[in-house]
Structure 1
């Protein structure tokens, strides 16, 4: 049975499969009920129960729906079969369009590395740079970054506005000292500009605290 399921999955990936439902900007459901998470990208949240609806989340979901709902897509595996939620991890193509790249390049998603599934990460990072430099989508509509809404929390771990370091224009993080780590704050994937006194943007791509 396991061999048969594997053969069926390989056939599905090679020949294409119909999208029956769009969950959000980076997740779809295909015929048979399996969910597919796009590799290497992240779109603003619209459905996660632990997060608020993030800026540009609805636009990303609507664009994904426009591109794939009810259509045949081809799926390409990298290294991992599924994520911890049981979703298939795939690069997704509709016609000649590489959707993971398209959503990032047009500003509907950010590039986000999920090792070991990184064979297209340099392309996706380049696509993000192009989108950010041209203020496309979330980069222009959401104070420079659509990734910057705090997760819903009970006790705020950041101060009220008025004591906020200008290196983090879309969230309120106090200036150093003391030095803060990502584990000390509730924000994730927010815009960072120089000088970044807390060194939240370790890879200098303009996005801080990228690891969830």
Structure 2
């Protein structure tokens, strides 16, 4: 019997995306041929359209590390999930596949998981709404809370300010909170020499 003709397999990007989700590392960069920035994935474009409206809400399904979470939202097409990178902040690494765990990274990841998981949130967006990895850029404000999670992480010394133009809407507030956390030696400012490296 003649062999059946080979059927083309799924695109490489699909295989990479499936592997990324299965492995829990949701921020893998899917670059098109030529090595340029990844285009926002369909769920991210849907999330921008659905969650930019005042009062729109989503639920935190789980957190990835100290400054990244997975949200579930609904639009006219139904339910979807999207990875969100918190706007205006950076926490020490705790799960990066190619970087070592940094001082206070696990503590930041635990704090984010405790404060965010399962919470219903509204989003604060800025001028640029996706990052080069196709993630949504937003600050999350739990319903009923006055502060965003970005602000809470900075105020408690779990995160430092990271402003990447053209975004900067939250920068003045976050810088004041970081200065206060540094002066009070909260969190990483006590445990780590420069906010990322351990004194030990």
TM-score range, shorter chain: 0.5 to 0.7
Question: Which protein has the bigger helix share?
Answer: 2
The 3-state SS of whatever aligns with 1:14 is coil
- Alignment of 1:42 with 2:90, yes or no, is yes
- How many angstroms does 1:14 deviate by? 3.0
* Higher-RCO chain (CA-CA 8 Å, sequence separation at least 6): 2
1:123 is matched with 173
- Alignment of 1:148 with 2:190, yes or no, is no
Structure 2 gaps, min length 5: 1-41, 73-79
Contact 2:52 2:125 in 1 (8 A): no
- Alignment of 1:27 with 2:85, yes or no, is no
Contact 2:52 2:123 in 1 (8 A): no
1:88 is matched with 136
Aligned equivalents of 1:7 and 1:54: distance in 2? 35
- Alignment of 1:15 with 2:56, yes or no, is yes
1:57 is matched with 105
Question: Following TM superposition, where does structure 1 have runs of at least 4 consecutive aligned residues deviating by more than 6 angstroms?
Answer: none
Task: Give the TM-score normalised by the residue count of structure 2.
Answer: 0.68
Structure 1 gaps, min length 5: 150-169, 171-212
Equivalences, count? 148
- How many angstroms does 1:147 deviate by? 1.5
Aligned equivalents of 2:60 and 2:149: distance in 1? 13
- How many angstroms does 1:51 deviate by? 1.0
Aligned equivalents of 1:87 and 1:93: distance in 2? 18
Aligned equivalents of 1:87 and 1:9: distance in 2? 14
The 3-state SS of whatever aligns with 2:93 is coil
Aligned equivalents of 1:43 and 1:148: distance in 2? 12
- How many angstroms does 1:72 deviate by? 0.5
Aligned equivalents of 1:46 and 1:124: distance in 2? 22
Aligned equivalents of 2:166 and 2:89: distance in 1? 14
- How many angstroms does 1:137 deviate by? 0.1
Question: How big is the alpha-carbon RMSD for the aligned residues of Structure 1 and Structure 2?
Answer: 2.3
2:157 is matched with 107
Contact 1:26 1:43 in 2 (8 A): yes
Contact 2:51 2:123 in 1 (8 A): no
